Amino acid sequence: MLYGICQGGSVTVAKKEKTEKQLQDEERIETETRAIIEKIKNGDDRAYSRLIKLYHNQVASLAFKMVGDYDEAADITQDVFVKTSRNIWRYDESKKFYTWLYRITINAAIDYKRKHKRHNHESIERINSKVDNKFATPELSFQRGQIRRYIDEATRGLNDKQRSAFILRDVDGHNISDVADTMNMPVATVRWYLHRARAKVKKDLLKKCPHLLLAFGFK
């Protein structure tokens, strides 16, 4: 389960950790990315299409988590890759490429929301579709799904920086230093936004679904 809702008798929001395979896949993709960027800089016109194919799903997923609408996420994704193509020369190769690309994506999503001034979509992507099935029953799975929906709703009340930190760290499971690179701020600052985000999510859960928390034995 992505979120540990209770610890020591109180409600908490627990971070998601990546598996060893996920970390290995990221390293492989990063190596492939560097080779593609080298080809782009050497004038290979087909290389950028490979870069888009490699990162399209990740960008679209992050955009959707930020705005909660598939059509808007598609528009943002297109905008991100246009901006990436124009600014690829500015990428600092001493940093991980995905942190640079995710920064562009988050900024594009924030700009889109401000421009279109929309706030009320029915739902955002289910933060974690894989429910912990240990001892699961249909009723338990339903209740867990309800808690996830309340967490989804709570994230909409976060400001842009809190939401970005929460999604990157607790939803997608990136390590704190990569989140700091993506958000272009010190680790300590990211930790502060993350602390505030978790506190707000916890407060919202206690307010909106105390009966569900009690059903899981939480107080």
pLDDT tens-place string over residues 64-117: 888 888 888 999 999 999 999 889 989 988 889 999 999 999 999 999 988 876
Average pLDDT over residues 44-66: 90
Average pLDDT over residues 161-167: 91
Distance from C-alpha of 139 to C-alpha of 131, rounded to nearest angstrom: 12
- For the chain, the structural domain boundaries read 1-16+128-219, 18-122
The pLDDT, as a whole number, for residue 145 is 73
Q: 18-122 in CATH: which number?
A: 1.10.1740.10
The pLDDT, as a whole number, for residue 170 is 85
Contact assessment for residue 171 and residue 17, using Cβ atoms and an 8 Å cutoff: no
Output 152 or 75, whichever has higher pLDDT: 75
CA torsion 162-92-85-180 (nearest 10°) is -10
| pLDDT band with cut points at 50, 70 and 90 for residue 121 | very low
Mean pLDDT highest for which of 24-28, 104-108, 156-160? 104-108
Distance from C-alpha of 12 to C-alpha of 15, rounded to nearest angstrom: 10
Domain 1-16+128-219: which CATH number of 3.40.50.1000, 2.170.130.10, 1.20.1730.10, 1.10.10.10 = 1.10.10.10
- Is 129's pLDDT higher than 60? no
How does DSSP assign 1-25, residue by residue? -----EETTEE--PPP---HHHHHH
Average pLDDT over residues 18-27: 78
> Which residue has 């930020």 as its token pair?
66
Please tell me the least confidently modeled range out of 120-134, 150-164, 173-187: 120-134
The pLDDT, as a whole number, for residue 51 is 93
Structure tokens given for 142? 């339903």
- Is 158's pLDDT higher than 50? yes
| pLDDT band with cut points at 50, 70 and 90 for residue 207 | confident
Contacts of 177 (CB under 8 A, 6+ apart): 187
- Is 120's pLDDT higher than 50? no
The pLDDT, as a whole number, for residue 117 is 65
Nearest to 152 by CA among 126, 174, 119, 121: 126
| pLDDT band with cut points at 50, 70 and 90 for residue 2 | very low
Nearest to 78 by CA among 100, 101, 59: 59
Supply the angle between the helices 70-87 and 97-116 in degrees, to the nearest 10: 130
